Amino acid sequence: MLQSGPVTERTQPASSAPRATAPADVLVTRAFAPAAMEWLRRECTVHALYGAPDREALLREVGPRVRAAIGFGAVTAAMIDAMPGLEIIASTGVGYDHVDVDAALRRGIVVTNTPGVLDDAVADTALALLLAVERRIVAADRFVRAGRWAAHEAFPFTRHLGDLTLGILGLGRIGLAVARRAEPFGMRVAYHNRRPRADVPYAYHATPLALANACDVLMCIVPGGAETRHLVDEAVLRALGPQGTLVNIARGSVVDESALVRCLQDGTLGAAALDVYDREPHVPPELFALEQVVLAPHVGSATHSTRRAMADLAVRNVLARLAGEPVLTPIPECAELAR
Ligand code: NDP
């Protein structure tokens, strides 16, 4: 059984250890923490799809030998077809909407993700965005740098967090970590999931619209993919209203981005803080002109130790599968297959 915990020299087999069989071929779709990448390179033959001048040519060449794919880039049905011996797709994130799970399951390929190890970091970022947008921290910074304070202009008052209700769309692992951080600020917490939770004291709302009607700040932290596409549509944004704030740290696809831009431009929605977008790294340029909007470049989990823990877990999943052992964190859809 592979050990869990951070990768250290102690937990990694010596690179000089004799090998019984040839190292397995592994496709890396996006670079991840260098130390984990090094570990993988010691154990396997790594083919880097990211940055390859001709990705299709690389896949044609190495695809027939590849046994594992790891990273955060798209893994499409066509890519899966090009890798007839593929045994595992390991996402280096908790989200796996970039993987064609149906195509993988049809072929009996295990898909894994990295739940749990990033909850605190993402919840910290969510709170940072919430504070930044409500207390207008980024606008205040621009105000000072522009010399407006020195010119005796007054910066407008903002809202006290303790006066607000936070509506969490997706009270899962990360959503709960956000709720627990919001409570000490005095915020009331409400939420919407498909099913109410029995283990929380927060008010449940049966639809995103009902939640938006009941809160001041709507925080999105549901998974991406077809099921949650545009869960936050124009009606939800209108329900939040001119005093309402949207924070999206889930996936760009969860929010109707065109409606969001329109509602922010005409004041139908009060403010927004965004970490994720529909066509990353493209951000709708209309948002750049809006003072009441805070923008981050998809950095929810982007701390050194968190990204390292995520990458380590993904590598462990790959090595376990290649060794014929059960993977550590299969996605729920393939829990049976992963045994
Ligand atoms: P969990 O699976 O623990 O939680 C997801 C929650 O969403 C559950 O409470 C679930 O409840 C709810 N949910 C799922 N589908 C729906 C739906 N159709 N309608 C309403 N609610 C729904 O996931 P995590 O908390 O670990 O992660 C959530 C997501 O956060 C990830 O999938 C990822 O996309 C995003 N993320 C973003 C990051 C960033 O950098 N910005 C970093 C990490 C994650 P129920 O099943 O009852 O509906």
Tell me the pLDDT tens digit for each residue of 54-100: 999 999 999 999 999 999 999 999 999 999 999 999 999 999 999 99
Ligand 1 touching residue 251 (CB < 6 A): yes
Tokens 């005796």 — which residue? 152
Do 238 and 210 form a contact (C-beta atoms < 8 A)?
Answer: no
How far from 168 is each of 2, 37, 108, 207, 339, CA to CA, in Å?
36, 35, 35, 12, 33
* CB count in 10 Å sphere of residue 199: 5
3-class DSSP assignment, residue 171? coil
Whether 14 maps to a domain, the answer reads: no
Whether 151 maps to a domain, the answer reads: yes
176, 287: one domain: yes
Across 198-210, average pLDDT: 98
Domain that holds residue 192: 119-295
User: Which H/E stretch holds residue 223?
Assistant: none
311, 290: one domain: no
189, 205: one domain: yes
Strands 165-169 and 66-71: unpaired
Nearest residue by C-alpha to atom 33 in ligand 1: 95
Across 14-19, average pLDDT: 47
Nearest residue by C-alpha to atom 2 in ligand 1: 172
pLDDT (0 to 100) of residue 2: 37
Least Cα distance to 168 among 131, 115, 222, 121 occurs for 222
Ligand 1 touching residue 170 (CB < 6 A): yes
User: Which ligand 1 atom minimizes the distance to the CA of 300?
Assistant: 40
124: CATH: 3.40.50.720
Q: How far, in Å, CA of 36 to CA of 70, rounded?
A: 11
70, 188: one domain: no
- Is the pLDDT at 270 greater than 80? The verdict is yes
Whether 12 maps to a domain, the answer reads: no
73, 200: one domain: no
State both tokens at 39: 């570990």
* Count of the separate structural domains present in the chain: 2
Catalytic residues: 251, 280, 298
pTM for the whole thing? 0.94
pLDDT (0 to 100) of residue 19: 56
Ligand 1 touching residue 307 (CB < 6 A): no
Taking the centre of ligand 1 as the mean of its atom positions, its distance from the CA of residue 37, in whole angstroms, is 27
Taking the centre of ligand 1 as the mean of its atom positions, its distance from the CA of residue 221, in whole angstroms, is 5
256, 280: one domain: yes
Whether 317 maps to a domain, the answer reads: yes
User: Which ligand 1 atom minimizes the distance to the CA of 122?
Assistant: 42
Whether 4 maps to a domain, the answer reads: no
pLDDT (0 to 100) of residue 298: 98
3-class DSSP assignment, residue 273? strand
Nearest residue by C-alpha to atom 8 in ligand 1: 172
pLDDT (0 to 100) of residue 20: 62
130, 264: one domain: yes
149, 185: one domain: yes
Whether 2 maps to a domain, the answer reads: no
137, 108: one domain: no
- Is the pLDDT at 4 greater than 60? The verdict is no
Which of 17 and 207 is assigned the larger pLDDT? 207
148, 262: one domain: yes
Taking the centre of ligand 1 as the mean of its atom positions, its distance from the CA of residue 142, in whole angstroms, is 33
User: Which ligand 1 atom minimizes the distance to the CA of 276?
Assistant: 41
DSSP per-residue string spanning 59-122: HHHHGGGEEEEEESS-B-HHHHHT-TT--EEEESSS--TTB-HHHHHHTT-EEE---STTHHHH
User: Which H/E stretch holds residue 38?
Assistant: helix 34-43
Whether 53 maps to a domain, the answer reads: yes
Ligand 1 touching residue 114 (CB < 6 A): no
- Is the pLDDT at 284 greater than 70? The verdict is yes
183, 100: one domain: no
- Is the pLDDT at 281 greater than 90? The verdict is yes
Whether 219 maps to a domain, the answer reads: yes
105, 124: one domain: no
Do 165 and 186 form a contact (C-beta atoms < 8 A)?
Answer: no
Pocket-testing residue among 30, 72, 174, 280, ligand 1, by greatest number of atoms within 8 A of Cβ: 174
